[in-house]
Amino acid sequence: MLEVTDLDTFYGRAQILDGVTLRMDGGEVVALLGRNGAGKSTTMKSVMGLVRPARGRVRFLDRDITGRPSHAVCQMGLGYVPEDRRVFTELTVMENLEVGRQAPRDGVPEWTPERLFALFPNLAEMRNRPGGRMSGGEQQMLTIARTLMGNPRLILLDEPSEGLAPVIVEQMAQTIAALKTEGLTVLLSEQNLHFARMVADRAYIIEKGRMRFDGTMAELEANPDIRDAYLAV
């Protein structure tokens, strides 16, 4: 479904990504793990057309999308929740959801506010509340729900557990598990190995803009040296 090959991305003259390669099949939940500053967000932005890689290719659904503008990439069914999740503070939960609405897509679950409220029960209780009057965790849920309104085939979640209270982290993990059950493909970036363990089938580890590990979660568990070298545990 997604094929990222040999990406080099620069900010100015600083090389941030060095030959990043990553592949995802439909229905997988994959974690992109790495410490702060490793290049996780830059990888996602390179896929989404928010920064232009100097070298390498991004293919989505067998089409080359390298450097395509992000709105075009979104319309193809690639959803993205950035780490600085932003809700429209003046708009209610319902209105925020409407902003994300896109036409239904063949072969992917079609989301409505009602279906999303079943998945995010606390949003259901505040459907008329302005985004600005929600907690950080609630806003995080809302940005994910809003992205789902676009009926994506694949969703990129940049550090979904970051800054959440432990009980909300558990809820987030359950939500991602439910999305997988719906058949959605998910790439999430994480520093939190504990969270990745709860949701991911496979993991990549990036450090200093290079992929250092690629394998199943079980293989990662069997390699404590890799974990200790590249992740803060």
Where does this chain bind ligand ADP (CB under 6 A)?
11, 14, 16, 34, 36-42
Least distance from ligand ADP to the Cβ atom of residue 40, Å: 3
Least distance from ligand ADP to the Cβ atom of residue 199, Å: 18
Q: Does 140 bind Mg ion (CB under 5 A)?
A: no
Tokens of 119: 């998945």
Query: Is 24 or 157 the residue whose CB approaches Mg ion more closely?
Result: 157
Q: Find, among 62, 57, 22, 18, the residue nearest to 215 by Cα.
A: 22
Least distance from Mg ion to the Cβ atom of residue 10, Å: 17
Binding to Mg ion in span 35-94, by CB under 5 A: 40-41, 83
Helix (H) or strand (E) holding 190: strand 185-190
Residue 16 binding: pick among Mg ion, ligand ADP, none (C-beta 5-8 Å cut-off by kind): ligand ADP
Q: Find, among 143, 138, 168, the residue nearest to 156 by Cα.
A: 143
Residue 11 binding: pick among Mg ion, ligand ADP, none (C-beta 5-8 Å cut-off by kind): ligand ADP
Least distance from ligand ADP to the Cβ atom of residue 17, Å: 8
Distance of alpha carbon 227 from alpha carbon 22, whole angstroms? 19
Which residues are CB-neighbours of 17 under 8 A, at least 6 positions away?
7, 8, 9, 39, 42, 43, 46, 53, 209
Q: Find, among 30, 58, 15, 16, the residue nearest to 203 by Cα.
A: 30
Residue 36 binding: pick among ligand ADP, Mg ion, none (C-beta 5-8 Å cut-off by kind): ligand ADP
Query: Is 10 or 88 the residue whose CB approaches ligand ADP more closely?
Result: 10
Residues, the chain: 233
Three-class SS state of 5: strand
Choose the stretch contacting Mg ion; rule: CB under 5 A; options: 33-41, 54-62, 176-184, 193-201. 33-41
Three-class SS state of 212: strand
Beta strand 78-81 with 154-158 is parallel
Query: Is 40 or 146 the residue whose CB approaches Mg ion more closely?
Result: 40
Query: Is 41 or 96 the residue whose CB approaches Mg ion more closely?
Result: 41
Least distance from Mg ion to the Cβ atom of residue 126, Å: 28
User: Under the rule (CB under 5 A), what is the footprint of Mg ion?
Assistant: 40-41, 83
